[in-house]
A and B are shown apart, each in its own frame.
Chain A
Amino acid sequence: GTEKRACPPERKPQVVDEKLFFYEEWELKACVDGALLAAQIDRVNRVPFTYQQLSIFKHKLDEFYPQGYPESLIQRLSYFFRYLTLEDIQKWNVTSLETVKNLLKVAERKQMDAQAAALVARYLLGKGQLDKDTLDTLANIRPTYLCILSPEQLDSVPPRVLWTVEPQDLDSCSQRQLDILYPYARLAFQNISGLEYFGKIKAFLGGAPKEDLQAFSGQNVSMDMATFKKLPLETLVQLTVDEVQKLLGPHVVGLQAEENNSPVRDWIFRQPQEDLDRLGLGLHGGTPNGYLVLDLNFREAFS
């Protein structure tokens, strides 16, 4: 069954039309080539092909363009865009804002937020600028694209986009991006306070300075362990045991399970053991009473 069968010459199509609907799976694989599909992608979109048939067509196009689809095809993809994956889109060069807008329209309300974000990312990589209309369209999709924007582009994102950010949306952001987003988010949420503010700013705390985290520790925010682990390491290790205890509230017991993992491990190393003992969680690895911590980065200077 795995033997590759040759296309019977009379079954080789010259045009994409409804006759292909009746082709057996093997015939589609053997007879339809990527060049024909690329040239007549508009016809592919006109016939109500099944998911299985479309999947074969996509495979053919992928074979024909192993380095990614050319922009001339991307511009004409229309509905076929819905069958493309993130990996496909990440190979593209998109320079036309018109193309981006058309494909975003196709993607709209089709559960294609990730593809839409990837498309925008490819466009921006080519130094493309987003106009207000496109940014407004983007405001309706999950902002998973924030981490691919440059500092200047982050500055063009409407503040209301920040209200829809979920913590996982920023998982791939660099420290520099988080450092930019945090004060921007603070500004966006300046008119709310208390737990509502914390709920919103939580996603951005990977860029928070020590002073802000210290302030939260006095506000009964009960930070969850997932958020705590995303705090900037350099800032986190400067927090005292008392501050972390107040910051985590009832979630402080979560430190136990994370004792051997970064960043909790790094934080423990920097705390006096007697302070850790006071938590009653059996955390080990803090600085014993009366000892000093030498920064090994200075080892060469000593020698």
Chain B
Amino acid sequence: RAAETGEDTVQLDRVLPGTGDFASLAPDLLLSFSCAEVSGLSTERVRELAIAVGQKNVTLQVDQLRCLAHRLSEHLAPEDLDAIPVDVLPFLNPAAFLGPQACTSFLSRVSKVNIHVLPRKSPERQRLLLAALSCRGVRGSRVSQADVQALGNLACDLPGSFVADSAEALLPWLAGCPEPLDQDQEEAARMALQGGGRPYGPPSRWSASSLNALQGLLAVLDQPIIHSIPKSVTAVWLQRVSRSPSWRGSEL
């Protein structure tokens, strides 16, 4: 351990407290800070560190993001959101951004970042989704296209009841979600696709572009749906995608 991390830690211990300007530190050094070091800094210094990390485009580990966010949530104004690294946003406490303006400002940023660094059922992710729905004034399980757009990546977590009640607005978004749907979402999506409603219409009228558009939803199809799609359409389409690994690329 000493051989692997000791050197950096010793260097940081010496450097962090005495550095007037974190921006002057090399990216490698910024990359190796520990939560203990962040805990030892004042709130203002944590903010400066976060800004420096953002400016240097340093990719932090989850635990580093979590402890930076923890400290930043103490005193963060909506106007600071642009200055801190976007990766920190999913870890911030949305309760720090109450009120229509503050929550909209927070949501507009957090909806665009990769929230998948947080486990799906993690309290942090659920907290973000609930705060986002409340910020949009969503009651019940109906969301509009505008809501889905505003929720952004958070919309991937909307449960099956939302999929069933808002299929037209939600399915195209779920199709592009990077994580597989959970069982609840999967069943609701399958029912909606089988039902033939908008936006995809009945499977018997699907074309290659419908199949392209389905993306991640393809995996939820069952045999009755598959056999409803014109076979010639599916066969040609399958031949094409199986030869090109690009569909895996989009999944990743």
Q: Which A positions have Cβ atoms within 8 angstroms of B?
A: 17-18, 21-22, 24-25, 45-52, 54, 79, 82, 109-111, 113, 132, 136, 139-140, 142, 155-156, 158-161, 163-164, 188-192, 196
Question: Contact flags (1/0) for B1-26 with A, using CB distance below 8 Å?
Answer: 10011000000000000000000000
- Docked pose: A163 CA to B4 CA in angstroms: 18
On chain A, the residues within 8 Å of B119 by CB distance are 111, 113, 142
Given contacts A47-B242, A160-B34, contact A21 B234 (CB under 8 A): yes
Contact of A164 among B62, B226, B235 (CB under 8 A): B62
Given that A109-B117, A132-B4 are known contacts, is A50 also in contact with B231, CB under 8 Å in the complex?
no
CB of B36 within 8 A of CB of A189, answer yes
Chosen A-B contacts, 5 in total, with CB atoms closer than 8 Å, are A18-B239, A21-B238, A50-B222, A54-B219, A109-B179
Determine whether the beta carbon of A160 is less than 8 Å from that of B226. no
Q: Which of A25, A48, A160, A192 contacts B223 (CB 8 A)?
A: A25
Q: A109-B179, A140-B117 are in contact. List 7 more A-B contacts (CB 8 A).
A: A17-B242, A22-B227, A46-B242, A52-B223, A109-B117, A164-B62, A164-B63
| CA A110 to CA B231, docked complex, whole Å | 32
Residue of A79, A111, A163 touching B248 (CB-CB under 8 A): A79
**Are A109 and B238 interface neighbours, CB within 8 A?**
no
- Confirm or deny: B83 has a beta carbon within 8 angstroms of a beta carbon on chain A: no
Count residues of B near A (Cβ-Cβ below 8 Å): 42
Q: Which of A18, A136, A142, A191 contacts B238 (CB 8 A)?
A: A18
B1 adjacent to A22 (CB under 8 Å): no
* B interface SS class: helix
Report the minimum CB–CB distance from B102 to chain A (whole Å).
26
A154 CB, nearest partner CB in chain B, Å = 11
Q: Which residues of A contact B180 (CB under 8 A)?
A: 51, 82, 110
Q: Are A155 and B1 in contact (CB under 8 A)?
A: yes
Q: Give the CA-CA distance A151 to B26 in the complex, in Å.
A: 35
**List of B residues within 8 angstroms of A158 by Cβ:** 1, 4-5
Say which residue of A50, A79, A139 sits within 8 Å of B226 (CB atoms): A50
B residues with a Cβ closer than 8 A to A are: 1, 4-5, 34-37, 39-40, 61-64, 66-67, 116-117, 119-120, 178-180, 186, 218-223, 226-227, 231, 234-235, 238-239, 241-243, 245, 247-248
Ranked 3 nearest A-B pairs via Cβ: A18-B238, A191-B36, A192-B39
Min distance, Cβ A116 to any Cβ of chain B, angstroms: 12
Give CA–CA (A109, B153) in the complex, Å. Answer: 14
Q: Are A50 and B220 in contact (CB under 8 A)?
A: yes
Beta-carbon contact of B61 and A156 below 8 Å: no
**Known A18-B239, A192-B36: A160·B63 in contact at CB below 8 Å:** yes
A160 touches B235 (CB 8 A): no
For A52, the chain B residues whose CB sits under 8 A away are 222-223
Task: Indicate if the CB atoms of B218 and A48 lie closer than 8 Å.
Answer: yes
A90-B2 Cα distance, complex, nearest whole Å: 32
- Residue among A22, A46, A109, A160 with the highest chain B CB neighbour number at 10 A: A160
Alpha-carbon separation in the docked complex, A164 to B223 (Å): 43
Flag if A163 contacts B67 (CB, 8 Å): yes
Q: Across the interface, name the chain A residue whose C-beta is closest to B239.
A: A18
Q: Are A50 and B40 in contact (CB under 8 A)?
A: no
User: Known contacts being A50-B220, A79-B248, A196-B39, is A164 close to B120, with CB within 8 Å?
Assistant: no
Q: Tell me, rounded to whole Å, the shortest Cβ–Cβ distance linking A8 to chain B.
A: 17
B62 contacts A139, C-beta separation under 8 Å: yes
Decide if B239 touches A160 in the complex (CB within 8 Å). no
> Do residues B63 and A21 form an inter-chain contact, with CB atoms below 8 A?
no
CB neighbours of B35 from chain A (8 A): 160, 163
Closest chain B residue to A158 by CB distance? B5
